[in-house]
Amino acid sequence: MKVLKLNSENQLFIIIIAITISILFLLGYNFFNIRSTEIVLSKKDLCEKCMIEYLQARRYEKNYIIRETVKWIEKVTESIKSANAICKQLEIEIPEISIYYNKFMGLVKVKGKDKDFEMILVPLARKVEEKIDLQKEILNKQIKIFQIQRQVIFIVITLVFLILSVFAILISRKLKVKIKTDKEELKAKEVELEETSMELALGLSENFEVLRQISNGNLTVKAPEESKVEILASLGKIINEMIE
């Protein structure tokens, strides 16, 4: 049973170009995936900072309860402002942070006792911590999804590379068959076939290395555009155009 029938080198060339474009698309998506992961990781770091600022406010609150000095009120205010600013950066809403601060200031004004602070502020504190932890959990799930996507892309790219290699072998064989049919130019064609095969192997190796570098996020590399093999020259130009 014939699975694939190729009538000419042009058909092989078109298939190789289509595969190359698919690889470049996957590599571009992989680069976007890497950038998205970095953004999510930065958001996760901000969540950690928000939690730290809030916990600092809680510690300053306890210092105020013990010492009842104004400087601890100022420190609570600074930490709460910082936590709210981080929430704006993250584009999330945790109104309990402001509610906690307003309740704290209300207790300060009426000179509330230790019991008042504990009964009113502790439940709010738990809600704030739960919301920040929930946001971190959401970001962790996004990171896992991106990691799985990168693994899938890597597997797909590897398979496509193998397919591309098979087509390269088919081209070499097709050239060899064509040479064998021409007895008068057999020796000259054999030399040409060897040179072409070597050029093709080296050229594909160089292009594969460029594609591998791109998959790692390096967009400064360039594929060779000059080659005795027209397919390799065109392939290099296409890769460089896609990089740009």
Confirm if 217 and 31 have CB atoms less than 8 A apart.
Answer: yes
Positive or negative: CA dihedral 70, 72, 77, 82: positive
- Residue 69 main-chain phi, psi, to 5 deg: -110, 150
Q: What is the pLDDT of residues 66-77, one digit of tens each?
A: 888 889 999 999
Q: Which of 157, 151, 146 is nearest to 38 (CA)?
A: 146
- Identity of residue 239: I
> What contacts 26, CB < 8 A, 6 or more positions away?
153, 156, 157, 160
For residue 4, the model assigns a pLDDT of 47
- Mean per-residue pLDDT, 51-67: 89
Instruction: Answer yes or no: is pLDDT of 119 > 90.
Output: no
Instruction: Answer yes or no: is pLDDT of 228 > 50.
Output: yes
For residue 2, the model assigns a pLDDT of 43
pTM for the whole structure = 0.55
Q: What is the pLDDT of residues 90-116, one digit of tens each?
A: 888 888 888 888 988 988 888 878 888
Whole-angstrom distance between the N-terminal and C-terminal Cα of the chain? Answer: 42
Identify the residue whose tokens are 């070499």.
Answer: 172
Instruction: Answer yes or no: is pLDDT of 81 > 90.
Output: yes
For residue 74, the model assigns a pLDDT of 92
CA distance 232 to 225: 7
